[in-house]
Amino acid sequence: MIRDQWDGKEWQEHCRRLLALKDGVEIQFIPDRFRGDGGIEAYCFDGVGYQCYVPQEAYNTTALTDAQKRKINTDVAKLCDNPDKTKALIGDVVLRRWVLLTPEFDSRELVEYARMKGEKVRKIPRPFWCHEDFEIVIHKDDIFAAEMATLYGQVAGGVYMDLPEPGEDDLFAAAEGGVAERLESKLAAEPALAQDSVALRSYKSMLLRNYVRGRQQLDLLANGYAAMHAAIERRFKSTLNGLPVELLGTPGGGPVVVQTLLRRLTEDLRHDAPGLEPVLCEELAQYAIAHWFVDCPLYFPVSSA
């Protein structure tokens, strides 16, 4: 599984933008540059607190869940161990919920752990910052569907750019830049294409056109929809950085991985940038695959069978 590889600062900024759209002046953000954030990233005056967290290098469910448990334990302890500081931070607000915002979670154990920790907090001779119904909750950013649509460019009718097919001059320029040569070298590592020169040339031509067209589409998005463009670029980086690990574990399975990647990227882009028309999401996913063929140094691993 390719995990959503958010950088911690990127995720924090992403969540803060969504929360600002959702709650406006009813939310207080807490800076963490000096002496940390005290176990809470932001809180609303209705009693909901938020902490943003991205586990680093958590490439399986166990590592991911363990890291998230440690985060809950560490930050909730900050609230409990220093009740006077917590009170100074949140004033007269009484916390009913402490929400861990994380890109993904895969195990019911994390939910069970959150329930257990919430019960323990409630059993403490009740600190004056804690509501009697206090709970710890885990969420992803999909609880902010409306805010995601606003932030990443939802417009009437959706965004689609009906660009003409790349002209011969565009393709020639890409070929002169070494793109076509790198494509052919990468594709030739796949046995089925290496044995069929016609199929190899056809596939190379398709990828070259996808590469040039996608580059043009991204340039237009960067100029007209900056936030949406940033979300797309982050998705590309996240997915393609994890692709070598998946390929290395799938000897001889390059075509299968590519088709799976196309479907997954299309779906992820529809989530990340809901203002994009579905057909544009698929075209950008095709560009991302072509881009990977051009720029990634890794070749398809060949099966020993």
pLDDT at position 115 is 97
Q: What is the pLDDT of residue 161?
A: 63
pTM: 0.66
User: Which residue type occupies 56?
Assistant: Q
First to last CA, the chain: 24
Gap between the Cα atoms of 131 and 96, Å rounded: 5
Q: Are strands 27-29 and 48-52 parallel, antiparallel or unpaired?
A: unpaired
Q: How much is the pLDDT for 303?
A: 46
Query: Residue 132 in contact with residue 82, Cβ under 8 Å?
Result: no
Cα–Cα distance for residue pair 296/64, rounded to 1 Å: 27
DSSP percent split of the chain into helix, strand, coil, nearest 5: 60, 10, 30
Burial of 103 (0-12, 13-18, 19+ CB in 10 A): buried
What would the pLDDT profile of 205-249 be if each residue is shown by its tens digit? 888 888 888 888 888 888 888 888 888 888 888 787 766 666 555
Q: Which of 128-137, 182-191, 199-208, 222-231 shows the lowest per-residue confidence on average (mean pLDDT)?
A: 182-191
**Taking Cα atoms as reference points, which of 125, 105, 101, 116 lies closest to residue 52?**
101
Average pLDDT, the chain: 82
Domain ranges of the chain: 8-147, 155-295
Give residue 304's pLDDT. Answer: 45
Contacts of 169 (CB under 8 A, 6+ apart): none
Q: How far is Cα 190 from Cα 206, in angstroms, rounded to an integer?
A: 16
DSSP lists the bridge partners of residue 100 as 51, 138
CA distances from 212 to 19, 270, 280, 284 (A): 37, 22, 14, 11
Distance (Å, whole) CA 214 – CA 285: 9
